[in-house]
Structure 1
Amino acid sequence: MQPPLGIIEGFYGPAWSWQARAQVVSRLARHGYGFYWYAPKGDAFLRRRWQEPHPPAQAAEMKAFARHCESQGVAFGIGLSPYEVYRQFDGAARRALADKLALLAELGVQRLALLFDDMPGDTPELAQRQAEVVAWVQAHLALPDLAVCPTYYTDDPVLDRVFTPRPPDYLTQLGKLLDQGIDIFWTGEEVCSRAVSPAHLRQVAERLGRQPLLWDNYPVNDGDRMSRHLHLRGFTGRPASLAGELTGHAINPALQPTLTCIPAITLAASYRLGDDYCYLAATREAAIEVLGPELGRQVCDDLLALEDAGLGRLSDERQARLRECYGRYDHDGAREVLAWLAGAYQVTDEMVQTQ
């Protein structure tokens, strides 16, 4: 059994092109990916400048992408982060949010995710204030699919260190206050979980009063440290038995759109094959599908350098050999490797703090 699979484009750093997004949708739709949330941290008009409309050219691109998703049988969604709107949800904030929702509806949005992640949690009665915003949106938006990302979307204590300690029983309160038809995102036991177990998801479901929607932070590779590595290996630590514990499984992709399809395809394979899934064999099969036989095998042969060692541990000589090797291929995947070697995908702390 395979749960609903999809993409939540929620990374920091350099943005994908609209052409790349369309290519990812077309490729992954064939493997059962049925939804796509557009929510890059670099789109200020969905975050700190959320009250402003997207520039006309960008809005037209989004509308065309929504049509492409529909043509592929993929539901197009937007992840909106109305920055700290829950601090003062007054008449002005409501009017601004209503205007934004109307604009998004014009773009062909079929799903909306309200994202309260990466914001301070020091507001009194945080769950109640956020639930008030969600209920208002639900009443003013004619969309059947609404999801919420809590401020504390994992038990990982790193969130308490960065965004102030979480209020007691925050998740339980939020789950009780939100309509049962609303999905709630969860990343697992960590922000970037090494593994996700059915037992953990059952525990989370008890607190939320519903099964969670998994926001899987693999193969995402944003941030100063992770952007120095390419995430190419097939999924591990996600047994097929998760399917019965989730309302959906959304992956946060890597900065490299072509290469991200390799692990994405293996996730579908892991659900399909169950106990017969072998992650390295699935990686090789997916790499050949995405990159072709020769380049696919080359990438698999270089996993130790590209994924494990990363830019910080590759000598100048080794990097030069890799540039020579991948420079021989006329393929978007090879060009992404070359751009990564050149530092084009490096995500700085400043990007994370300002996007």
Structure 2
Amino acid sequence: MAIGKSFAKAALSVSLAAGLVLPLGVQSTSAQETSMSYAVSVSPIPKFMEQTGKGFPLNPKVGLVTEDGTDPSAIEELKQAFKAAGVKKIIESNMKNPDLQAPMIFWLGEFSDAAEVKTIKEKTGITDLNVTSKDGYILTSKQGKEAKKHIVISGKDGAGTFYGTQTFKQLIIERQGTDWIPEVEIKDYPTMPIRGAIEGFYGKPWSHEDRLSQLEFYGEHKMNSFIYAPKDDPYHREKWREPYPQEKIAEIGELVKAAHKNHVTFTFAISPGNTITYSSDQDLQALINKAQAMWDVGVRSFALYLDDIDPNLRSPEDRAKFGSDVNPPAAAQAYLLNRFNDQFIKTHPGAERLITVPTDYYQAGTTPYRTRFAQLVQPDVVVQWTGIGVVAPTITTADADKIHDIFKHDLLIWDNYPVNDFNRNRLFLGPLVGRDAGLTPDHGVIGLTANPMNEAETSKIPLFTVADYMWNPRAYDPADSLERSLKEFGGTAYEPLKTFVDSSYSSNLNGSEPVSEKLKPLIEQFWAAYDAKNVQPTADALLSEFLKIKNTSAQLRGMMGNKNFLDEVDPYLKKLELYGSAGEEAVKMALAEQANDAQAAAEQRALLKNSLKEIGNIPQNLSLGVLSAFFDRAINGVNLAEGKIATASSSEVDWLTQDLAVDGNDNTRWASLYTDNQWLMVDLGQVYSINKVILSWEAAYGKQYKIQVSKDGSQWTDVYTELNSNGGINEIEFPSTEARYVKMQGIKRATSWGYSIYEFKVFNVHN
């Protein structure tokens, strides 16, 4: 029977005959069962796990032995697992007088008392119950004395015991009849002390329902931290002085209880930096009052954030008090942090260490602000850091050592992945990559909090991989972790979910586009066969892939019962379906053209253009960069600019270069410096007759620009002038002209940024 909350069920490696439900109290293992072999999978991957035997069926009657103070959440989780797996009777007893009448005995607790340990060893034959690491646990299942089966879950602390039950839930193998328990020995503990997430994005905050669901997810995946810091919660940032309405305080109180149940520390953050007077006693008291209201509903962890603000001192009082300091902003901020630390955190026994984000939170090296901040802020304050860059492609131990040497405070990584507030029309569903395995307290790092997407439910897919990494980074394999995430999240819908995730994979952390990578060789083979007049075999293979893409949306909607997820991804699913249809139409059009069936070709061309129009009307984007070039060639012929030599007046940074505008991928781009008189030019390699240019703009587009052509690269002719572009995709047609060089000459930018182009395409006359 299924355990609905388990997240990587152990897999059967053989097929089983239908089993029989055993009477209560009867434990029987058939000869066939004793020969069975099961592959055990646990997420996050334990530090040590060994299968010591085949295992045994989960009896419908079990004994549960706990001790005084056994974690209540662990007991509840284990009982829920029993119920879901078909256990009918639980005989509960205490270690002081254990009842061992049931054929299967569960021992659950910390078991630090010597007498308790002796009892367990005598009854079970298990010799090693030593757990040394915080949040660690031991889980052992084995045949004990007197033909009884014993499962011991022993934690270093309450959290460790709770995590042991989460692991046990994954060991239960679903079968017809009775479920199966493999014999295993697991010794496990986390690498990172703090493992969590921060709701720290811009945009609509998560709902209360979203947060409750997240906290349950964190507990299941052994994450122990949640920071409440939504930028667009007005009472968190702009109205920070004002108390929360009572109904909101009640909601936060409910979140704190849910967090406690799931062994998650709930951190309440305030971001006062835009309007605070750092030296003001009145503003300090407003912060204390705000924090006290949260303390009263159970919050024990607090953060004061100073990121994304103008650091210059606004008030005359602050300029008078701190203006003579070597770095007035750092001095003012340190004064506030230290006073809040002294007057609130240290006056509330049981409060966790204060957390902050400095204004200079992502720079590569030291700054005068950082130097002074490190000198003045009290040493027990935890500093959050995003890595080098706001969205850091990599975070290495060398980076951590460097930044720790600068701040001289414990670092808590604020990892801006998979957050998408900077690109609200994308989902980032690939696994976490680019983080060293050695980001530990030895390198000044005490943990990591991932900043998820605005789409709460969808964020669980990459957050699974983040949890995997944080618990055991040395065993972390991104591809394997994502596979386990998709199997948990999608269940029977794994295959269509994987196709969808592969279409929303690429991010600032990776350059991968799994769907494009699969399509690209098929497209290349198709066009080669098309030119060779033998296209049908390759067309069938390409049509099969487009059909798979088209059907993914309907399959997910039909197979997944996760309404919140389906609502969040609805426009992306619609767009994916349209891409599949457009792909089919493009292939069929090309086939009809090659067969000289003008009517069929015209019909498919009309369908294709309509599909592309509908695709353009959906602002959400997928990482399917290869398809734009495919559709362009189908409609317009060969893009003469693709793969040719491009030059530009400038590049904003060294990774946004001109060659990326002619690479045939709509997810890479060129960007110029921030002046109007910038240009991008492509050398087609020889003179062609051309009549069409397509500019695919990023958000930083040209409001006014010219398209110029030349045969020699010296004498230029204007073939088109745009005086009021709205960005997006500009399709520019002009009378056929002979040219080797084609240039976009900027006249006026639409934004304060430069000009930024995903693709610069040039076409000759299409027959």
TM-score (norm 2): 0.40
**Corresponding position: 1:2 with 2:2:** no
CA distance in 2, matches of 1:105, 1:131: 23
Q: How far is 1:179 from its partner?
A: 1.5
Q: 1:248 to 1:345 in 2, by over 3 A?
A: farther
Q: 1:89 to 1:336 in 2, by over 3 A?
A: same
Residue from 431, 435, 438 that aligns with 1:238? 435
**Corresponding position: 1:134 with 2:337:** yes
Three-state SS of the structure 1 residue aligned to 2:419 is coil
One-letter identity of the residue aligned with 1:253? P
Residue from 121, 138, 141 that aligns with 2:311? 121
Q: How far is 1:275 from its partner?
A: 4.6
2:302 is aligned to 112
Conserved in 2, the CA contact under 8 Å of 1:258 and 1:290?
no
2:234 is aligned to 44
One-letter identity of the residue aligned with 2:339? W
One-letter identity of the residue aligned with 2:361? Y
Conserved in 1, the CA contact under 8 Å of 2:195 and 2:447?
yes
Q: How far is 1:84 from its partner?
A: 3.2
Q: 1:88 to 1:198 in 2, by over 3 A?
A: closer
CA distance in 2, matches of 1:74, 1:189: 28
Deviations 1:279-336 (A, max 9, x none): 1221121122123231x332222234233499xx9xxx99986653433232132332
Residue from 383, 408, 414 that aligns with 1:184? 383
One-letter identity of the residue aligned with 2:489? V
Q: 1:122 to 1:110 in 2, by over 3 A?
A: same
1:71 is aligned to 261
State the superposition RMSD in angstroms. Answer: 2.9
**5+ long unaligned stretches in structure 2:** 1-189, 314-322, 508-512, 517-546, 575-617, 622-698, 700-767
Bigger relative contact order, structure 1 or 2 (CA pairs below 8 A, ≥6 apart): 1
CA distance in 2, matches of 1:318, 1:173: 58
2:358 is aligned to 150
**Corresponding position: 1:170 with 2:369:** yes
1:58 is aligned to 248
Conserved in 2, the CA contact under 8 Å of 1:183 and 1:247?
no
2:567 is aligned to 335
Q: How far is 1:118 from its partner?
A: 1.1
Three-state SS of the structure 1 residue aligned to 2:569 is helix
2:162 is aligned to none
In percent, how many aligned pairs have the same letter? 24
Q: 1:340 to 1:47 in 2, by over 3 A?
A: farther
**Corresponding position: 1:324 with 2:554:** yes
Q: 1:248 to 1:276 in 2, by over 3 A?
A: closer
Q: How far is 1:97 from its partner?
A: 2.1
Q: 1:272 to 1:103 in 2, by over 3 A?
A: closer
CA distance in 2, matches of 1:319, 1:149: 43
Conserved in 1, the CA contact under 8 Å of 2:430 and 2:506?
no
Structure with higher Rg: it is: 2
Conserved in 1, the CA contact under 8 Å of 2:302 and 2:352?
no
Deviations 1:93-116 (A, max 9, x none): 223223222222223211111000
Q: How far is 1:41 from its partner?
A: 0.9
Deviations 1:235-255 (A, max 9, x none): 100122112421111111111
Q: 1:83 to 1:222 in 2, by over 3 A?
A: same
Deviations 1:263-289 (A, max 9, x none): 222123234554543212211211221
CA distance in 1, matches of 2:491, 2:379: 45
Conserved in 2, the CA contact under 8 Å of 1:48 and 1:83?
no
**Corresponding position: 1:83 with 2:313:** no
2:458 is aligned to 259
Residue from 215, 219, 222 that aligns with 2:418? 219
2:86 is aligned to none
Three-state SS of the structure 1 residue aligned to 2:295 is helix
Q: 1:136 to 1:344 in 2, by over 3 A?
A: farther
Conserved in 2, the CA contact under 8 Å of 1:53 and 1:100?
yes
CA distance in 2, matches of 1:181, 1:340: 45
CA distance in 1, matches of 2:491, 2:352: 39
When structure 1 is superposed on structure 2, of 185-194 and 147-156 the one drifting more is 147-156
Q: How far is 1:174 from its partner?
A: 1.0
Q: How far is 1:344 from its partner?
A: 10
Q: 1:91 to 1:273 in 2, by over 3 A?
A: closer
Three-state SS of the structure 1 residue aligned to 2:489 is helix
Q: How far is 1:83 from its partner?
A: 3.4
Conserved in 2, the CA contact under 8 Å of 1:86 and 1:130?
no
Residue from 504, 511, 520 that aligns with 1:306? 504
CA distance in 2, matches of 1:67, 1:97: 23
2:137 is aligned to none
Q: 1:46 to 1:274 in 2, by over 3 A?
A: closer
CA distance in 2, matches of 1:293, 1:326: 10
Three-state SS of the structure 1 residue aligned to 2:257 is helix
CA distance in 1, matches of 2:424, 2:357: 24
CA distance in 2, matches of 1:149, 1:336: 30
CA distance in 2, matches of 1:146, 1:286: 33
User: By percentage of residues, which structure has more helix?
Assistant: 1
Q: 1:271 to 1:96 in 2, by over 3 A?
A: closer
Conserved in 2, the CA contact under 8 Å of 1:76 and 1:108?
no
CA distance in 2, matches of 1:185, 1:273: 21
Q: How far is 1:259 from its partner?
A: 1.9
CA distance in 2, matches of 1:149, 1:286: 31
Residue from 297, 318, 331 that aligns with 2:495? 297
CA distance in 2, matches of 1:83, 1:222: 20
Conserved in 1, the CA contact under 8 Å of 2:499 and 2:549?
no
CA distance in 2, matches of 1:339, 1:40: 24
Conserved in 2, the CA contact under 8 Å of 1:29 and 1:72?
yes
Q: How far is 1:58 from its partner?
A: 1.4
When structure 1 is superposed on structure 2, of 20-29 and 91-100 the one drifting more is 91-100
Conserved in 2, the CA contact under 8 Å of 1:127 and 1:170?
yes
Conserved in 1, the CA contact under 8 Å of 2:306 and 2:356?
yes
Q: 1:199 to 1:308 in 2, by over 3 A?
A: closer
One-letter identity of the residue aligned with 1:148? T
Q: How far is 1:178 from its partner?
A: 1.4
